[in-house]
Amino acid sequence: MIHQFFVPTDAAAILSILLSSRPPDDRLVWAFTSKEEFTVKGAYKVAMASANTDQSGEESNSQNRKLFWKSIWKLNVPNKIKSFARRANKNILPTKANLVRQNVIKNSTCKACGEEVESSGHEFVDLLWHLKFVEQQGDEILELVITVAWCLWFNINEARLGNARAQASAILHKACYLLEEFQVANFRLSSPVNNGEVSVIIRYDARRVEAALSKRLMLPLGPVKQRPWKKG
């Protein structure tokens, strides 16, 4: 029986174990019940527990994906770059590999290296995932990486149209400039909540200002109107 259910190395190790002088008869044992006996009911419980574990893992993975893409859409980068990341993940970028699959062209070799297939950016999305959840990098790193990837893709398309291929340093410089320019243009100064400001102007007459004062108060003050106060 041992040779029937175990590989030769395991069977030899089992048979080398010294047995009692009064050995019991060999029998099959079902390890998932207290009575060590196989029943259909017990097998059903094991199968359902395994299915629930798989489903729980899938739900957890689904939640991570939602969290990942939610963080990507919140990045302070142009929307076209976010859309590029989404299309790369879905493998719908017009790469040479996809164009060959659609019978648009016949050669899928990358023009830059001349060796590898020009495929979609699954590795790029995996890199973002690793930076976000494994290394737990901040949004600044993710924004730079995703912008550099878009600039690389833009340069590939420019080369397809006959333009010169840019150097890596030039692509990196362009990505940094594009990101900085966008973030400066889209910077929004948000006022802190639950605060107010008191301003005072002291005039000598209608034309002459003697003094002015402005002070911010960390109090939830609403708009207050006061009449000018004149010293007699």
Question: Does residue 130 belong to any structural domain of this protein?
Answer: yes
Give the residue-averaged pLDDT of 174-201.
74
pLDDT given for residue 28 in this prediction: 77
pLDDT given for residue 195 in this prediction: 63
Interatomic CA distance for residues 156 and 163, integer angstroms: 9
* Average pLDDT taken over every residue of the chain: 75
How distant, in Å, are the alpha carbons of 123, 170, 218, 222 from that of 195? 47, 46, 4, 9
Question: Does residue 67 belong to any structural domain of this protein?
Answer: no
Structure tokens at 112: 């830059």
Question: Does residue 212 belong to any structural domain of this protein?
Answer: no
Question: Does residue 140 belong to any structural domain of this protein?
Answer: yes
Helices (H) and strands (E) in the chain, counts: 8, 2
Interatomic CA distance for residues 83 and 93, integer angstroms: 10
**In residues, how long is the chain?**
232
Specify the pTM: 0.48
Question: Which range among 70-74, 170-174, 195-199 has the greatest average pLDDT?
Answer: 170-174
The percent of residues above 90 in pLDDT, for the chain, comes to 1
Q: Burial level of 128, CB count in 10 A (0-12/13-18/19+)?
A: buried
Give the residue-averaged pLDDT of 43-58.
66
Q: Tokens 């859409």 sit at which residue?
A: 73
Question: Does residue 118 belong to any structural domain of this protein?
Answer: yes
Question: Does residue 175 belong to any structural domain of this protein?
Answer: yes
Interatomic CA distance for residues 138 and 164, integer angstroms: 34
Cβ atoms < 10 Å from Cβ of 182: 16
Give the residue-averaged pLDDT of 74-87.
87
Nearest to 26 by CA among 8, 10, 14, 41: 14
Structure tokens at 138: 């901040």
How many domains are there within the chain? 1
Question: Does residue 174 belong to any structural domain of this protein?
Answer: yes
Interatomic CA distance for residues 201 and 205, integer angstroms: 11
Q: Look up the domain containing 139 and give its range.
A: 75-184
Question: Does residue 204 belong to any structural domain of this protein?
Answer: no
pLDDT given for residue 146 in this prediction: 86
Question: Which range among 14-23, 58-67, 210-219 has the greatest average pLDDT?
Answer: 14-23
